[in-house]
Chain A
């Protein structure tokens, strides 16, 4: 694993000269990130219109993390995450309609309306959820990695959680077991600096989360989670190690969410200027867009065409999610236990 320069306290590391993307790679990253961004904006609108109730945690700002990691893995690798999960689902290739319809609690949602925003799954896409209890998915990720090792396949499990979950005890149980048994798991800590309304400095005795595996001898790396190229490069290093049987590692993704923790969060714990500064200087989508234009890889009108395509995917998802029927009341009683 590459040496890490710890920049401390959630400052974004200077990536130096990151690995360059080809035009195709830049375009893939752009499309995937834009899909998440537009999807989340639409989810926010539908929430405001009353189509989505309860909890809804938007991923806006963090798109480069999941898109970059997804570019570093192969089919068969598993993904499991906590509750800010819409981006992960879209990145694994789950259908925007099914995700949006789950948000609106319709029968065409991925969990037929039983899961909601925080609880969606897809066996087909190797997406293992969507878990609403902070940190509870982390031992499951180690278990999935164990199953890979037991089966003798070369799959790795990407196990995502946030800076808040990184303070949960069971995370360290998973770290210990993963290292003890050399499991092919990558622990991705999405450090967006705030666990709901609590800044990392107010909740964590040490805020360099890449070092949280130090006592288990799990290597860690801080990554500019706002640069999709840096994410993919770090992801590829970690995945290569894990596939080679060298065990787990930690990737701390330094990232930022533009919106509140949930829809009811006015985000008074940070300044408007702080948010604006990250948006202007670091926005992961804008960075790709600007790079492509500056390098002459693409023209404005081609980008506009892509934007239009993404908008129609999202609009179709929203349309579906508003018109799909609600699940029958009898669905409440299914999938609880199998018959005795």
Chain B
């Protein structure tokens, strides 16, 4: 089985779906000729032609808005917003049009679009190239929100996203594109080829939306994580020796509460980790959900480890980033309670 990086797996998912379905069109800023700023669409224009994979002007609202119109007429646009931080001009289209078209037309029309965007920090991108805006999407009913953490999932989830008849926000943790980054920024990057989840089947397969994955079984506490934080939590478990059960949520909405509840009822302790800012972050939703569904099983208060409530910094990137040390401290705190 070939090994792929996240980038190669995402590119492969496009390739598979463009070959299977003529309605799949791929576009965005520098997506066609250049192959995408992170090369996730490299070679697709050469293979499928400029009608099916093409460059757009730098206009995110226009990209998403035209995609919705195309989708309403039966196409399957998979578009790239170059960085998640560039999404804000398109937010009106995502919220007011894509997310709501099915409901307000009583199912006459829908907007089956996939909107991919690199998310998160760790690349010294500072305020406008590092943010994690997932909670801005999960707050919007009518959108599905996906965050893959490895090449195998990325390909299978992206194929599922393109096939889904609803709009899907597909957030790609950019620090994971080239390897399973665990927050130890001082160490050299380990490439994906050394990781078992870089083994990606050729051709078509899916990873279903709405299903979490237990990435590390454990008995001491439950970690709810997604994207880059899955590896940070793994490092924290290894370094603290605490037997954490690490759940990679993979899809934030719809949320796999069954897997979460089964784990928390078993471990009776819960740590939630994300890179986004804390207040009203997705961790708040997770914490409320665990409290509502597992309160009588909990032996300690739920703890959140998140980015600080500041703009994403440049010089203090690693002070902001919730690395394995901060996550490990949270593990200890939850175990002591």
- Using CB atoms and an 8 Å cutoff, list the residues of chain A in contact with chain B: 78, 80, 110-112, 114-115, 119-123, 128-133, 136-148, 150-151, 157, 169-170, 173-174, 176-177, 180, 334-338, 340
Q: Which of B56, B69, B142 contacts A147 (CB 8 A)?
A: B69
Contact call A336/B102, Cβ cutoff below 8 A: yes
Closest CB in chain A relative to B88 CB, distance in Å: 12
| Contacts of B67-110 to chain A: CB distance below 8 A | 67-75, 89, 92-93, 96-97, 101-109
- In the complex, whether B43 has a CB less than 8 A from a CB of chain A is no
A114: chain B residues at CB < 8 Å are 103-104, 106
- Give the total of B residues in contact with A, Cβ under 8 Å: 45
For A176, give the chain B residue with the smallest CB separation: B57
Q: From B58-66, B173-181, B196-204, give the one contacting chain A.
A: B58-66
Q: Which of B72, B210, B211 contacts A143 (CB 8 A)?
A: B72
Contact call B104/A119, Cβ cutoff below 8 A: yes
B144: chain A residues at CB < 8 Å are 337, 340
Interface CB pairs A-B, < 8 A, 26:
A78-B73, A110-B106, A111-B106, A112-B106, A115-B104, A115-B106, A121-B109, A136-B92, A137-B97, A138-B65, A139-B66, A139-B68, A140-B72, A143-B70, A146-B70, A147-B74, A147-B75, A148-B73, A150-B51, A170-B89, A176-B57, A177-B56, A177-B66, A335-B105, A335-B107, A337-B142
Known: A128-B109, A136-B96. Contact between A176 and B165, CB under 8 A? Answer: no
Contact call A338/B164, Cβ cutoff below 8 A: yes
A145: chain B residues at CB < 8 Å are 69
Contact call A111/B59, Cβ cutoff below 8 A: no
B93: chain A residues at CB < 8 Å are 136, 139, 170
| Contacts of B236-259 to chain A: CB distance below 8 A | 251, 254
Q: Which of B66, B72, B107 has the most CB of A within 10 A?
A: B66
Contact call B208/A133, Cβ cutoff below 8 A: no
Closest CB in chain A relative to B121 CB, distance in Å: 28
- Could you tell me the distance between the alpha carbons of A157 and B66 in the complex, rounded to whole angstroms? 12
Known: A131-B97, A150-B51, A150-B70. Contact between A136 and B65, CB under 8 A? Answer: yes
For B57, give the chain A residue with the smallest CB separation: A176
Closest CB in chain B relative to A180 CB, distance in Å: 7
Known: A139-B62, A174-B62. Contact between A335 and B102, CB under 8 A? Answer: yes
Closest CB in chain A relative to B22 CB, distance in Å: 9
- Could you tell me the distance between the alpha carbons of A157 and B70 in the complex, rounded to whole angstroms? 12
Contact call B105/A111, Cβ cutoff below 8 A: yes
Q: Which of A112, A144, A338 contacts B69 (CB 8 A)?
A: A144
Contact call A143/B166, Cβ cutoff below 8 A: no
Contact call A140/B65, Cβ cutoff below 8 A: yes
- Could you tell me the distance between the alpha carbons of A132 and B105 in the complex, rounded to whole angstroms? 13
Contact call B66/A140, Cβ cutoff below 8 A: yes
Q: Which of B70, B97, B106, B209 contacts A340 (CB 8 A)?
A: B209
Contact call B66/A146, Cβ cutoff below 8 A: yes
Q: Which of B57, B75, B92 contacts A177 (CB 8 A)?
A: B57
A140: chain B residues at CB < 8 Å are 65-66, 68-69, 72, 97
- Could you tell me the distance between the alpha carbons of A170 and B61 in the complex, rounded to whole angstroms? 6
- In the complex, whether B25 has a CB less than 8 A from a CB of chain A is yes
| Contacts A140-B72, A146-B66 supplied; 20 other A-B pairs, CB < 8 Å | A78-B73, A111-B106, A112-B106, A121-B105, A128-B72, A129-B101, A136-B93, A139-B64, A139-B93, A140-B65, A144-B69, A150-B75, A173-B65, A176-B62, A177-B56, A177-B59, A180-B57, A336-B142, A337-B102, A340-B208
Closest CB in chain A relative to B76 CB, distance in Å: 11
